[in-house]
Structure 1
Amino acid sequence: MWFKHLHLYRLHNTEVIPLEALEERLAEQAFRPLGGSEATRLGWRTPGGRTSPRFVHEVQGHRLLSALRQERVLPSAVVREEVEERAADREAAEGRPLPRRERQAIKEQVYEEFLPRAFVRSQRLDLWWDTRGGLIGVNASSRKRAEEILDLLRQTLGSLKVTPLATQMLPIRAMTAWLSDPQQRPEGLVLGDQVELKAKDEGVVRARHMDLDSDEIKQLLENDRQVTRLALEVEGQLAWTLHDDLALKSLRFADAVIDEAAQADDGDDAILRLETDFALMAQTLAPVISQLTRWLGGEASAQEGGAAALAQQ
C-alpha cells in the first residue's frame, strides 16, 4: 500500500464529485484484459484486490484509486531478426534490394503477427486524491505513467483541470543552495546520503552512501555543478529523494509511522488494514508536501512554474 514514488498535481476549479457517483464512473472504466491485437490497455481496478467490490476508498477526505496497466512486450531484436530474414528471402527471390517502404511493410506485418503471442506485463498505478487540499499524487516511477492515469481519470470524469505542482523557487536552485551552504537549509530538513550533480559540459556525477558535507562534494559544487537529485528527510516522518521536476522518489516512511500502522487493530480485515495504512500514509504526506512547498518559496501558478523552468534551461 505504501507509495514508493510521488508525482504531484494541483487541481484547478474542480468540484469534488460525490463518492457514490465517482464509484459508478470508475466501474464504467474498469480494467479489461488485453485483446489479442492490443499493445496496451489501462483501466481502473479495485485497490483492495479482486475480492473487493469498491473502486475508491475515502478516509478523512483522502481518496485512494488504483489502475492496472497492461502491455505486450515484444523485443525489438526479435522483430528485427524476423524482418531481416524475410527481407533477405524476398530480395533473393526477386533479385533486387527492397526499398525502405517495403521493409517497413514487412516490419508492420511481423509486428501484427507476433504481438498476440508477446509476453504481457502488468503494472499497478495508485492515485492519492486529497479532496480538501486540492492535490493529486500518483505513485508511478515516471512522469509519463503518471500522466497516463490522469488521462484515464479525465476520461472517466469528463474533464479534469490539473497541472504539475510548481513552486516559486525551482527545486534545482533550492537543492544546490541547501547543499552548498548549511546556513540556508530549512530548520527540520535533514540531508540524506545521495546526490546527483550536473554540469553542462562535464556530464553527471552521482554519489551514494556519502557524507554530502564532505570536501569532495564542495569541490564539485565549486565547479558550477547544480544539484538535480538530493536525498532529504523530515525526521520521524518521511525520507525521500527530491528530483528537479519536484518528483519525490524512493519514499521511505519513518519506523514510527510504520509501527503505528502495524499496531492498529484491524481484526484481520484486509480492507480495514488497507484503509488504515492509507490514512496514515496520507496524513504523513500532506504536511510534508506542504512544508516542502514552503521551503521552496511557496506554490507558483502553472504559468510561473513553466516560465521559471524555461529560464533555468
Structure 2
Amino acid sequence: MWFKHLHLYRLHDAPQISHDDLDDQLAEQAFRPLGGSEATRLGWRTPGGRGSERHLHEIQGHRLLSALRQERVLPASVVREEVEERCADREAAEGRPLPRKEKQTIKEQVYEELLPRAFIKSQKVDLWWDTRRDLIAVNASSRARAEEILDLLRQTLGSLKVTPLATQALPIRAMTTWLKEAETRPTGLILGDQVELKAQGDDGVLRARAVDLDSEEIQTLLEGGRQAHKLAIEVEGQLSLVLHDDLALKSLRFSDALLDEASQANDGDDAILRMEADFVLMAQTLAEVVERLIGWLGGEASAAAPSP
C-alpha cells in the first residue's frame, strides 16, 4: 500500500462527484483481460484486490483508486528474426530482392501472428486524490505512465483539468543552492547521500551514491558549474525521498515511527481495513510533506487550467 513514487498534479475546477457516483463510473471502466490481438489494455481494478468489490476507497477526503495495465511483451529480436527468415525464403523462391514495402507487409503479418502468443505483463498503478487540497498524485515510476492513468480518469469522468504541480523556485536551482549553501536549507530538511549532477555543456552526468554531500569533492563540482537534477533528502520525522528536477518524488521511504504506528492499528485482521488504515496514514503524511516542499520551493506557481 505504501507508495514508492509520486507524480504530483494540481486539479483545476475539481468535479463535484459523490463517492457512490464515482465508484459506479470506475466500475463502468473496469479492467477487462487482453483480447487475443490486443497489445495493451488499461482499466480500473479494486484497490483491495479480488476480495473487494469497491473500486473507490475514500477516507477523510482522501480517495484511493487503482488501475491495472496489461501489455503483451513481444521482443523486437524475435520479430526481426522471423521477418528476415520469411523475406529470405520469398527472395529465394521468386529470384528477386523484396522492396521495402513488401518487407513491411511481412513484418506486420509476423507481428499479428506472434502477438497472441506473447508473454503478458501486468502492472498495478495507484492514484491518490486529495479532495480537500485539489491534488492528484500517481504512484508510477515514469511520467508517461502517470499521464496514461490520468487519461483513463479523464475518460471515466468525461473531463479532467490537471497540470503538473509547479513551484515558484525551480527544483534544480533550489537543490543546487541547498547543496552549496548549508545555511539556506529549510528547517526540517536533511540531506541524504545521493545526488545527480549535470553540467550545462556536454560533460555528461555524474551520479553519486553513499557519499557525503557536504564533501569537498561535491563542492568542487558545484563550483565548476554543475547543477543538481536529483537529490536525496529527508523530511525530518516523516520520510526520505529523491527529489527530481520535474518535482517528481522517487524512492519514497517512510519513517520507522510511521510504519510502527500503522502496524499497531486495530483492524481485526481485516485486510481491507488494514489497507484503508495504511492509506489514510500515508496520505496524511504525504499531504503534509508536499505542503512543506511547496513552501521550501517558494510557494506554488500559478498555472492556467488546461482544456478538458
With the shorter chain as reference, the TM-score category is over 0.9
What amino acid is aligned across from residue 256 of structure 2 in structure 1?
A: D
Q: Give the match for residue 157 of structure 2.
A: 157
Instruction: Give a deviation string over 1:198-252, Cα, whole Å, max 9, x none.
Output: 1121000000011000011111111111100000111210100000000000000
Q: Is the 8 A contact 1:261 1:276 kept in 2?
A: yes
Secondary structure of residue in 2 paired with 1:167 = coil
Secondary structure of residue in 2 paired with 1:149 = helix
**How far, CA to CA, are the matches of 1:274 and 1:147 in structure 2?**
25
Secondary structure of residue in 2 paired with 1:246 = coil
Q: Unaligned regions of 5+ residues in structure 1, if any?
A: 305-313
Deviation at 1:118, TM superposition (A): 0.1
What amino acid is aligned across from residue 206 of structure 2 in structure 1?
A: V
Secondary structure of residue in 2 paired with 1:20 = helix
Instruction: Give a deviation string over 1:33-68, Cα, whole Å, max 9, x none.
Output: 000000000000000001101000011000000000
Q: Give the match for residue 309 of structure 1.
A: none
**How far, CA to CA, are the matches of 1:290 and 1:218 in structure 2?**
29
**How far, CA to CA, are the matches of 1:264 and 1:303 in structure 2?**
42
Q: Give the match for residue 64 of structure 2.
A: 64
**How far, CA to CA, are the matches of 1:221 and 1:133 in structure 2?**
36
Q: Give the match for residue 27 of structure 1.
A: 27
**How far, CA to CA, are the matches of 2:166 and 2:4 in structure 1?**
21
Q: Give the match for residue 77 of structure 1.
A: 77
Q: Give the match for residue 311 of structure 1.
A: none
Q: Give the match for residue 231 of structure 1.
A: 232
Q: Give the match for residue 121 of structure 2.
A: 121
Q: Give the match for residue 103 of structure 1.
A: 103
Q: Give the match for residue 214 of structure 1.
A: 215
**How far, CA to CA, are the matches of 1:100 and 1:300 in structure 2?**
51
**How far, CA to CA, are the matches of 2:211 and 2:274 in structure 1?**
37
Q: After TM superposition, where is structure 1 displaced by more than 6 Å over at least 4 residues in a row?
A: none
What amino acid is aligned across from residue 129 of structure 1 in structure 2?
A: W
Number of corresponding residues: 304
Instruction: Give a deviation string over 1:249-293, Cα, whole Å, max 9, x none.
Output: 000000011000001110001110000000100010001100100
**How far, CA to CA, are the matches of 1:303 and 1:173 in structure 2?**
23
Q: TM-score, normalised by structure 1?
A: 0.96
Q: Unaligned regions of 5+ residues in structure 2, if any?
A: none
What amino acid is aligned across from residue 243 of structure 1 in structure 2?
A: H
Instruction: Give a deviation string over 1:127-180, Cα, whole Å, max 9, x none.
Output: 000000000000001000000110000000000000000111111111111111
Q: Give the match for residue 279 of structure 2.
A: 278
**How far, CA to CA, are the matches of 1:27 and 1:142 in structure 2?**
26
Deviation at 1:301, TM superposition (A): 2.0
Within 5 Å, give how 1:45-64 maps onto structure 2: 45-64=45-64
Q: TM-score, normalised by structure 2?
A: 0.97
**How far, CA to CA, are the matches of 2:157 and 2:207 in structure 1?**
42
Q: Give the match for residue 10 of structure 2.
A: 10
**How far, CA to CA, are the matches of 1:234 and 1:242 in structure 2?**
11
Deviation at 1:303, TM superposition (A): 5.5
Instruction: Give a deviation string over 1:53-109, Cα, whole Å, max 9, x none.
Output: 100001100000000000000000000000111111111111221111111111111
